[in-house]
Amino acid sequence: QVQLEESGGGLVQAGGSLRLSCAASGRVSGTNTMGWYRQAPGKERELVATSTTGGSTNYADTVKGRFTISRDKYAKNTVYLEMNSLRPEDTATYYCKVEFNWVINVEGASRRMEYWGKGTLVTVSS
């Protein structure tokens, strides 16, 4: 099994900064994608940013230039989301996700696995 532990949410004024952390433990492939998603009340869950073990990152247009996703230098299955210039519309519950292919037999067949954290609330006041 895989566990995701998120931390770092809270209340901040518009223009402020927060840093979220997510650590994945358990049976996690060494090749994976970890990312942050968010869900505001009454809205669909949406991508915020992702990071692959290969070093690629991807951001939603709404956060480009303000948010930065990174991996811990030593704990590769730990990701951070540095959020700057926060806006009230960034208010949401932020969820961490890890996904990877898990080999299930000697022929090399694999299954796509994904796990979600419980979420951490970010509230940005105006």
Instruction: List per-residue pLDDT tens for the chain, 126 residues long.
Output: 899 999 999 999 999 999 999 999 999 988 999 999 999 999 999 999 999 999 999 999 999 999 999 999 898 899 999 999 999 999 999 999 999 988 888 988 889 999 999 999 999 999
* 28 vs 113: CA distance, rounded Å: 9
Q: Is 89 helix (H, G, I), strand (E, B) or coil?
A: helix
Burial class for 22, CB neighbours closer than 10 Å (0-12, 13-18, 19+): buried
* 52 vs 42: CA distance, rounded Å: 30
The pLDDT of residue 105 = 87
The pLDDT of residue 54 = 92
Residues with Cβ within 8 Å of 32's Cβ and at least 6 positions away in sequence, in order, are 24, 52, 53, 77, 98, 99, 100
Structure tokens at 33: 């994608």
The pLDDT of residue 104 = 87
Q: In this structure, how many other beta carbons lie within 10 angstroms of the beta carbon of residue 29? A: 17
Residue type, position 72, single letter: D
Residue type, position 32, single letter: N
Please check whether residue 11 is in contact with residue 28, taking contact to mean a CB–CB distance below 8 angstroms. Answer: no
